[in-house]
Structure 1
Amino acid sequence: MVRKKKKLRVERVIIVCVIALVIGFGLYKGITWAFQSITSLLTPDVQEEVVEPEIEKPKNYIATVVIDPGHGDWDPGANVGNVLEKDISLTTSKAIEQALDEANIKAVLTRETDISLSDNKIDDLKKRAAKSAENNANYFVSIHVNSFDESDEVSGFEIYKKNDESHSLAQNIGKNIETLNYSKNRGILDGGKSLQVLRDNMVPSVLIELGYLNNDNDYSYLSNDEKLQEMGKAIAKGIIEEVQTHLLDNSTQNNINK
């Protein structure tokens, strides 16, 4: 009889313990749920902002111009000390490129760095001229610097044109360079037969000699990057005027001017 009572007591203790565990777990879950609910009510609902990557839309250019920085790499061009034609032409060309892009005109440089297009001079010039057809360009502008071994008194910039169709482009560029008052305007010359980059081109083309590097006056701006930047902007302005005057129809011009 004693054993039976002890057994019942043990079973009761086990049952009580089980019931206590169940109640305790239930209380724990209930308290946890209540705490989380209250916390969620008190905490502001902050949603993570999803930042969509900006997709740059391609520009709808109104014209394409090939800009040819003369010389490069093994061919330095005219030089006085460490001041090289290939560097002057590249600095000026990049300034033209930037100004044209701001005017919604695509500029294609025949070279972006100090390189040549070929180890052979004739082939190099052919490849430069070929950039016009490859890019369906409207105009071609080559940038160079002059030098005259026989005298350092000769100064000024001059522009060579491919043909009569190129005259307006040369004229617009020349009058804008002239406003800088860096040096005198030596005029527009015919280069369609003597200069290969003009001769091999199928679009209106000009070659600009920015000045005479061995002349003290011209050297003062040809060796100055800030003035070359201004030179590039002036050339770009002439190209822009040519595009707006002779390339675009009236409706397109009205849309640009709005």
Structure 2
Amino acid sequence: MQMPRIVLDPGHGGRDPGAVGKRLREKDVNLQACLYLREALLRAGFQVLMTRDKDIERVPGVTDAVDLKARAMLANTNSADLYVSWHYDASVDENVHGVSVWIHPSQKDRTAYYKADLICHHISTATGQKHRGVYLGDFQVLRDTMMDAVLIEGGFITNALEEAKMSDAHFLQTQAEAVAVALCKIFDRPYVAPIMVAPKKPRVDDRVTVKVNGASLVQQGRLIEGKTYVPVRELAELLGCVIAWDYDTHTVSLTRGE
């Protein structure tokens, strides 16, 4: 049984930054999301090709139209089963937010529409983003591809809250895994979740031995956030002090006698 072949297209790249937010460039976020998605799809047994896997154009030094044609051609010549282009949107209205998926107008009410809707639903459900739905657009990568093709708009880089999320690797991985779940359903493949291993915290021995005139306290002190804490009553007794507790003022008094 031949495994499904997916072409992932991280939009823009190289001299083309795509949409630009306050701190992020779309091309960088697109690439990171697609790298996470490639990892998720490989776990599930898909064949995955990428139009780029670093910050370059597909064909450096050519016009945008030629570069986009080359991206579609990669999918066509390799008989891909699905073309997934990944982007993040922009708007003059900073309040606009949410995820959407685009298909070519010729694919309305066909299989590409239902695939796009399922992908959008899974991202929205996993991340809590607004579900903006499926849109129709005559984008070149959707027009020039010979198989079903979708273009994901994973959020608005011009929205402060969504841009902040895009800088979080966990958020991008959550989006990518959601798409992987949707594609596994589309191609009837078992989804394989990532193995999340919590980093081990180094064990720190916070015990502190306290000595007074060479004699160690029976109770050890503790080193907490750079400060040493010791049992005050035992310390006071070794120092020959009388200890008193004022309940009303929550005050400990050490008085050294003659």
TM-score, normalised by the number of residues in structure 2: 0.68
Contact persistence 1:147–1:213 (CA under 8 A): yes
The match for 1:190 is: 136
Aligned with residue 124 of structure 1, among 52, 60, 67: 67
Q: CA deviation at 1:68?
A: 0.3
The structure carrying a bigger strand percent of its residues is 2
Q: CA deviation at 1:206?
A: 0.4
The match for 1:35 is: none
Contact persistence 2:24–2:163 (CA under 8 A): no
Return the index of the structure with the highest Cα Rg. Answer: 1
The match for 2:19 is: 78
Q: CA deviation at 1:61?
A: 5.1
Q: CA deviation at 1:165?
A: 2.6
Q: CA deviation at 1:217?
A: 2.2
Matched, 1:177 2:123: yes
The match for 1:110 is: 51
Judged with a 3 Å threshold, the aligned counterparts in structure 2 of structure 1 residues 221 and 182 are, in CA distance, closer, same or farther, namely: farther
After superposition, give the CA deviation of every residue in 1:177-232 in whole Å (9 maximum; x if it has no partner).
011234201000112xx210000011011000011111122112112122101111
Q: Identity percentage over the alignment?
A: 31
Matched, 1:154 2:117: no
What are structure 2's unaligned runs of at least 5 residues?
192-258
Write the distance in 2 (CA, Å) between the matches of 1:76 and 1:187: 25
Deviates more, 1:202-211 or 1:76-85: 76-85
TM-score, normalised by the number of residues in structure 1: 0.68
Matched, 1:199 2:140: no
The match for 2:225 is: none
Matched, 1:219 2:160: no
Q: CA deviation at 1:112?
A: 0.8
Write the distance in 1 (CA, Å) between the matches of 2:170 and 2:63: 33
The match for 1:17 is: none
Contact persistence 1:168–1:242 (CA under 8 A): no
The match for 2:206 is: none
Aligned with residue 30 of structure 2, among 63, 67, 89: 89
The match for 1:136 is: 79
Contact persistence 1:66–1:137 (CA under 8 A): yes
Runs of 4+ in 1 over 2 A off after TM superposition: none
Write the distance in 1 (CA, Å) between the matches of 2:116 and 2:21: 27
One-letter code aligned to 1:71: H
The structure carrying a bigger helix percent of its residues is 1
Write the distance in 2 (CA, Å) between the matches of 1:216 and 1:229: 19
Contact persistence 1:212–1:218 (CA under 8 A): yes
RMSD: 1.7
**What SS class does the counterpart of residue 93 from structure 1 fall into?**
helix
